[in-house]
Amino acid sequence: MNSLKNNKETVKALFTEYLEHKGHRKTPERYAILDEIYSRDGHFDIETLYISMKNKNYRVSRATLYNTIELLLGCKLVVKHQFGKNMAQFEKSLATTEHDHLIDLRTGKVIEFHDPRLTEIIQDACAQHHFRLSHHSLYLYGEMDDTK
Protein backbone atom coordinates (compact mmCIF):
# COMPACT_ATOMS: atom_id res chain seq x y z
CA MET A 1 0.00 0.00 0.00
CA ASN A 2 2.87 2.34 0.78
CA SER A 3 4.34 2.00 -2.73
CA LEU A 4 0.90 2.86 -4.19
CA LYS A 5 0.86 6.05 -2.10
CA ASN A 6 4.42 6.87 -3.18
CA ASN A 7 3.50 6.27 -6.83
CA LYS A 8 0.50 8.57 -6.53
CA GLU A 9 2.63 11.29 -4.91
CA THR A 10 5.26 10.95 -7.66
CA VAL A 11 2.61 11.10 -10.38
CA LYS A 12 0.97 14.14 -8.78
CA ALA A 13 4.34 15.91 -8.56
CA LEU A 14 5.13 15.15 -12.21
CA PHE A 15 1.69 16.38 -13.30
CA THR A 16 2.03 19.56 -11.22
CA GLU A 17 5.43 20.28 -12.76
CA TYR A 18 4.04 19.72 -16.25
CA LEU A 19 1.02 21.97 -15.65
CA GLU A 20 3.21 24.75 -14.25
CA HIS A 21 5.75 24.46 -17.07
CA LYS A 22 3.01 24.64 -19.74
CA GLY A 23 1.04 27.38 -17.98
CA HIS A 24 -2.09 25.29 -17.31
CA ARG A 25 -4.30 25.70 -14.26
CA LYS A 26 -3.96 23.18 -11.43
CA THR A 27 -7.61 22.37 -10.77
CA PRO A 28 -9.04 19.91 -8.25
CA GLU A 29 -10.88 18.16 -11.10
CA ARG A 30 -7.63 17.44 -12.95
CA TYR A 31 -6.09 15.95 -9.83
CA ALA A 32 -9.23 13.90 -9.12
CA ILE A 33 -9.04 12.44 -12.64
CA LEU A 34 -5.34 11.67 -12.19
CA ASP A 35 -6.06 9.96 -8.86
CA GLU A 36 -8.92 7.92 -10.37
CA ILE A 37 -6.70 6.73 -13.24
CA TYR A 38 -3.86 5.75 -10.92
CA SER A 39 -6.28 3.95 -8.57
CA ARG A 40 -7.35 1.50 -11.27
CA ASP A 41 -5.70 -1.32 -13.15
CA GLY A 42 -5.79 -2.13 -16.82
CA HIS A 43 -7.27 -0.25 -19.74
CA PHE A 44 -10.15 2.21 -19.71
CA ASP A 45 -12.03 4.44 -22.11
CA ILE A 46 -13.32 7.94 -21.44
CA GLU A 47 -16.93 6.80 -20.97
CA THR A 48 -15.97 4.14 -18.40
CA LEU A 49 -13.87 6.71 -16.53
CA TYR A 50 -16.73 9.24 -16.65
CA ILE A 51 -19.26 6.74 -15.25
CA SER A 52 -16.85 5.57 -12.57
CA MET A 53 -16.21 9.12 -11.40
CA LYS A 54 -19.90 10.06 -11.58
CA ASN A 55 -20.75 7.02 -9.41
CA LYS A 56 -18.26 8.33 -6.85
CA ASN A 57 -20.01 11.73 -6.90
CA TYR A 58 -17.22 13.60 -8.67
CA ARG A 59 -18.54 16.53 -10.69
CA VAL A 60 -16.42 16.15 -13.81
CA SER A 61 -17.66 16.80 -17.33
CA ARG A 62 -16.72 14.69 -20.32
CA ALA A 63 -14.99 17.77 -21.78
CA THR A 64 -12.83 18.08 -18.67
CA LEU A 65 -12.01 14.36 -18.93
CA TYR A 66 -10.98 14.67 -22.59
CA ASN A 67 -8.90 17.79 -21.90
CA THR A 68 -7.21 16.24 -18.88
CA ILE A 69 -6.45 13.03 -20.77
CA GLU A 70 -4.73 15.14 -23.45
CA LEU A 71 -2.60 16.80 -20.74
CA LEU A 72 -1.76 13.41 -19.21
CA LEU A 73 -0.77 12.10 -22.64
CA GLY A 74 1.40 15.19 -23.09
CA CYS A 75 3.32 14.56 -19.89
CA LYS A 76 3.46 10.81 -20.57
CA LEU A 77 1.53 9.75 -17.46
CA VAL A 78 -1.07 8.01 -19.65
CA VAL A 79 -0.66 6.03 -22.85
CA LYS A 80 -3.30 5.74 -25.58
CA HIS A 81 -4.13 2.51 -27.40
CA GLN A 82 -6.25 2.03 -30.50
CA PHE A 83 -7.12 -1.66 -30.45
CA GLY A 84 -8.50 -2.42 -33.91
CA LYS A 85 -11.76 -0.63 -34.66
CA ASN A 86 -12.66 -0.15 -31.01
CA MET A 87 -12.70 3.28 -29.42
CA ALA A 88 -9.48 4.59 -27.95
CA GLN A 89 -8.44 3.08 -24.67
CA PHE A 90 -5.94 4.40 -22.19
CA GLU A 91 -3.83 3.14 -19.32
CA LYS A 92 -1.50 4.63 -16.77
CA SER A 93 2.10 4.55 -17.87
CA LEU A 94 4.13 5.17 -14.72
CA ALA A 95 4.91 2.25 -12.41
CA THR A 96 3.29 -0.33 -14.66
CA THR A 97 5.01 -3.47 -15.76
CA GLU A 98 6.13 -3.68 -19.37
CA HIS A 99 3.63 -5.67 -21.39
CA ASP A 100 2.26 -6.29 -24.86
CA HIS A 101 -1.24 -6.97 -26.16
CA LEU A 102 -3.22 -9.73 -27.86
CA ILE A 103 -6.40 -8.33 -29.45
CA ASP A 104 -9.31 -10.60 -30.41
CA LEU A 105 -10.75 -9.14 -33.62
CA ARG A 106 -14.11 -10.87 -33.08
CA THR A 107 -14.82 -9.80 -29.50
CA GLY A 108 -12.48 -6.86 -29.00
CA LYS A 109 -11.06 -8.53 -25.88
CA VAL A 110 -7.53 -7.40 -25.00
CA ILE A 111 -5.12 -9.68 -23.17
CA GLU A 112 -1.91 -8.29 -21.71
CA PHE A 113 1.18 -10.48 -21.66
CA HIS A 114 4.89 -10.20 -21.00
CA ASP A 115 7.62 -12.42 -22.37
CA PRO A 116 11.24 -11.63 -21.44
CA ARG A 117 12.37 -13.13 -24.76
CA LEU A 118 10.74 -10.19 -26.56
CA THR A 119 12.63 -7.78 -24.32
CA GLU A 120 15.89 -9.52 -25.29
CA ILE A 121 15.07 -9.31 -29.00
CA ILE A 122 14.22 -5.61 -28.72
CA GLN A 123 17.39 -4.86 -26.75
CA ASP A 124 19.52 -6.76 -29.29
CA ALA A 125 17.91 -4.93 -32.23
CA CYS A 126 18.51 -1.57 -30.54
CA ALA A 127 22.15 -2.41 -29.77
CA GLN A 128 22.82 -3.60 -33.35
CA HIS A 129 21.46 -0.37 -34.78
CA HIS A 130 22.85 1.99 -32.11
CA PHE A 131 19.28 2.93 -31.24
CA ARG A 132 18.22 4.28 -27.86
CA LEU A 133 14.74 2.97 -27.10
CA SER A 134 12.21 5.24 -25.44
CA HIS A 135 9.40 2.69 -25.25
CA HIS A 136 7.72 0.08 -27.38
CA SER A 137 4.28 -1.21 -28.11
CA LEU A 138 3.38 -4.58 -29.61
CA TYR A 139 -0.14 -5.46 -30.75
CA LEU A 140 -0.96 -8.95 -32.00
CA TYR A 141 -4.33 -9.29 -33.75
CA GLY A 142 -6.27 -12.51 -34.27
CA GLU A 143 -9.11 -14.55 -32.83
CA MET A 144 -9.37 -16.56 -29.65
CA ASP A 145 -9.65 -20.31 -30.15
CA ASP A 146 -12.97 -21.10 -28.45
CA THR A 147 -12.22 -24.83 -28.47
CA LYS A 148 -9.45 -24.44 -25.87
The three state secondary structure string of the chain is CHHHHHHHHHHHHHHHHHHHHHCCCCCHHHHHHHHHHCCCCCCECHHHHHHHHHHCCCCCCHHHHHHHHHHHHHCCCEEEECCCCCCCEEEECCCCCCCEEEEECCCCCEEEECCHHHHHHHHHHHHHCCCCCCCCCCEEEECCCCCC
pTM to 2 decimals? 0.68
Per-position pLDDT tens, the chain of length 148: 445 566 788 889 999 999 999 999 999 999 999 999 999 888 888 999 999 999 999 889 999 999 999 999 999 898 888 776 667 888 887 755 677 777 787 887 777 777 888 888 889 999 999 999 877 777 777 888 887 7
